Amino acid sequence: MSALIKFEWQRDSAGYHVEKRKGLRLVHAFDGEVKVEEFVFLSEVNEPWSPVSWDGSESDIEEIEVIVPNGGPLLTYYPLEEEPSLFAILAATKLNSDSVLTFVNRFGPLHHGRTSMFVEYWDSDIKNTSNFISAIEGKNYQIITDYFCNDWASGLRVRFDYTTGRSKPQLCLTPPDLRSAIYLQLAQHISSDRELRRCLHCGTGFVFGSGTGRRRSGHYCSDRCRKAAWFASKENANG
């Protein structure tokens, strides 16, 4: 399949770690219905630019898990070319610090905003991609169609790529961040002749077919799972 999506991203080459930080949780209501949560660290409270002032009540304090970069040089890479099943990997991510940290260490944060580094804020995207994979498996595309009718990728750029050696320009979509790129990859998968299969070892979905580098006869999402399944079968055979 033609590489319609042109996307590069950055991750900390020294990796990331998880810290627990204290702060205040704000809930903003609009028209009495829509609620938007915001978490403000204690170090930010009562600053002139802060959205909140605090009287010092300990009962208001909450603790939140935050993913923090280790401060290495930023590594630029192409996540969709590196992993054609990235949307399935996000769907298989658990909503806990270890699982989210594993994803971020491998692919970087979902977007540039600070909420991308709050572990609990990954909940909606993990659920969305998991539900979309279930819909693909059941050929129930309506929930996916409904989602993509909304403004899910603000900042998406449509352009022509005319590189040396091409006879004519190629249409390209450039998403603004990793989150949008993942949803766009999922949309492209649905529109292609590629197929989705569950890994026999870990259960993670993976894409196979044209341009993925994976054979249609493959049953594992990675060499690690293939080897782990082989060792498990040997152990079972030896009793």
pLDDT digits (tens, 9 = 90+) for 82-107: 888 899 899 999 999 999 999 999 99
- At 57, list the tokens: 């009540």
112 located within any domain: yes
Three-state SS at 216: coil
pTM: 0.77
What is the predicted pLDDT for the residue at 203?
66
Return d(Cα 60, Cα 23) in angstroms, integer.
8
Query: 75 forms bridges with which residues in the sheet?
Result: 11
Phi, psi of 200 (to 5 degrees): -70, -15
- Angle (CA) 107-111-153 rounded to 5° is 115
What is the predicted pLDDT for the residue at 2?
44
Locus of tokens 């209501």: 29
207 located within any domain: no
203 located within any domain: no
Query: Are the CB atoms for 99 and 167 separated by under 8 Å?
Result: no
Count of domains in the chain?
Answer: 1
Query: Are the CB atoms for 47 and 63 separated by under 8 Å?
Result: no
Residues 6+ apart with CB under 8 A from 97: 18, 65, 67, 119
Sign of CA dihedral 44, 46, 50, 55: positive
Average pLDDT per run of 10 along the chain, which is 239 residues long?
A: 78 96 79 70 71 68 93 95 89 94 96 89 92 86 80 77 75 90 88 71 66 64 74 66
DSSP for 108-119, please give it. --SSSSGGGGBG
147 located within any domain: yes
218 located within any domain: no
42 located within any domain: yes
Query: Are the CB atoms for 70 and 12 separated by under 8 Å?
Result: yes
Return d(Cα 231, Cα 238) in angstroms, integer.
11
1 located within any domain: no
Q: Could you list the residue range(s) of the whole structural domain that residue 25 is in?
A: 9-192
232 located within any domain: no
Return d(Cα 140, Cα 97) in angstroms, integer.
31
Q: What angle in degrees, to the nearest 10, is found between the helix axes of 178-190 and 123-137?
A: 10
